[in-house]
Amino acid sequence: MSKIGFIGTGIMGAPMAGHLQAAGHELYLVKHHSPLPQTLLDAGAIECASCKEVAQHVDIVITIVPDTPDVAAALFGQDGISAGLSRGKTVIDMSSISPIETKLFAQKINALGCDYLDAPVSGGEVGAQAATLTIMVGGPEAAFERAKPLFELMGKNITLVGENGAGQTCKVANQIIVALTIEAVAEALLFSSKAGVDPARVRQALMGGFAGSKILEVHGERMIKRTFDPGFRINLHQKDLNLALLGAKALGISLPNTASTQELFNACTAHGGAELDHSALVKALEALANHEVT
């Protein structure tokens, strides 16, 4: 069993860390944005005073925090992870952040004689709790193979995509597809409801056809039942689409539907919905139509 540092025990991180702990791994934690889950502490997790202290105690450090600056602070800030690393350790970042910055982070960690894997996840709170996350990994193959048993405790679809930064690039691509599919489902249900057809029955019918998807299944139901408690917040998806649009600008390509979907998220945020689940994007379309999906 390994000694694992886990930084970021929020909506996603807490159940992910719990799966590692349940498998017998020894956890070392430090408070980040969220209070440390009492369930992990009661089961034997050790609370540390800093990220540096976590890194000193463990062989592998996992981070899953909201944004690129949060990862930078955890790695290289005062008493950060890098200050506690020694040769041969591994850092795994499971946040969703900038692919460009990820490559720079990896170079700095590699210079300390340690491996770095970027391993963002998809599947939301439900996938984190069920240990069915999709995990997209960038980094050296040898480090990936050593970490794979840990990934298998947290997810089901685990792929080494390429070198450092490739995992984050894949996650940005994932977030483009998810956002545009949420928008498509929202338009379809709004269209049906405005036409006087029960959107719940439309969703049920579509689930059996070519339009069927996990997003229609899960987020379509959220839109109909108005259950927008966050599994993945709008403001986090805005952050991910911003990475896509900045990347597209750097690459000299156009992502027109990504840009329009980002504007719908922006409208939700302007109306106080930044902390709602990203399925609440439907609210922006409802405001344009002056009609609520019911």
Residues 6+ apart with CB under 8 A from 1: 23, 24, 25, 26
Of 72, 76, 95, 97, nearest to 85 (Cα)? 76
Mark whether 171 is an active-site residue. Answer: yes
Q: Is 111 helix (H, G, I), strand (E, B) or coil?
A: coil
Q: What letter does residue 196 receive in the DSSP assignment?
A: T
Sequence-ordered list of residues with C-beta below 8 angstroms from that of 48, at least 6 positions apart, any chain:
5, 28, 29, 30, 54, 57
Residue 182's identity, in one-letter code, is I
SS3 state at 168: helix
**Overall size of the chain counted in residues:** 294
For residue 117, give the DSSP letter.
E
Integer angstrom CA distances of residue 171 from 44, 150, 166, 167, 187:
32, 19, 9, 6, 24
Nearest Cα neighbor of 100 from 162, 170, 165, 160 is 165
Report residue 157: phi and psi, to 5°. -105, 100
What is the rounded CA–CA span in Å between residue 196 and residue 203? 14
Structure tokens at 118: 């970027």
Give phi and psi for 209, each to the nearest 5. -115, -165
Candidates 89, 171, 239, 283; catalytic one: 171
Give catalytic residue positions: 171
